[in-house]
Amino acid sequence: MSEEIKNEVRAFLNNSIAGGTASIQDDTKLISTRLLDSILALRLVSHLEEKFRIEFEAHEVNQDNLETIDRIAAFVESKRK
């Protein structure tokens, strides 16, 4: 199931960053390298909430959960259980 989540996140980010030309791997640092800014992070969270029918708490929208595609997928997976 996490491959589905990773593919969804990757597609969202590729469409949102650098006009679809970004090369984002599962372990690419998103926040610390500033690929993912606060506005894009909120858009991503909203997208994930709608797509996977989960809800982020305000304190969960942070670097720990959003730093890499791997971390995002693991977090979304944990919310779905």
Domain boundaries, the chain: 2-11+30-80
> Which residue do the tokens 């390298």 mark?
33
For residues 15 and 78, the model is more confident at: 78
| pLDDT at res. 18 | 62
How large is the average pLDDT for residues 16-43?
87
pLDDT in tens, 34-77: 999 999 999 999 999 999 999 999 999 999 999 999 999 999 99
Distance CA 74, CA 20 (A): 24
- The long-range contacts involving 23-30, CB below 8 angstroms and separated by at least 24 positions, are 24/69, 25/69, 26/68, 26/69, 26/70, 26/73, 27/68, 27/69, 27/70, 28/68, 28/69, 29/67, 29/68, 30/66, 30/67, 30/68, 30/69
> Which residue do the tokens 């909203």 mark?
46
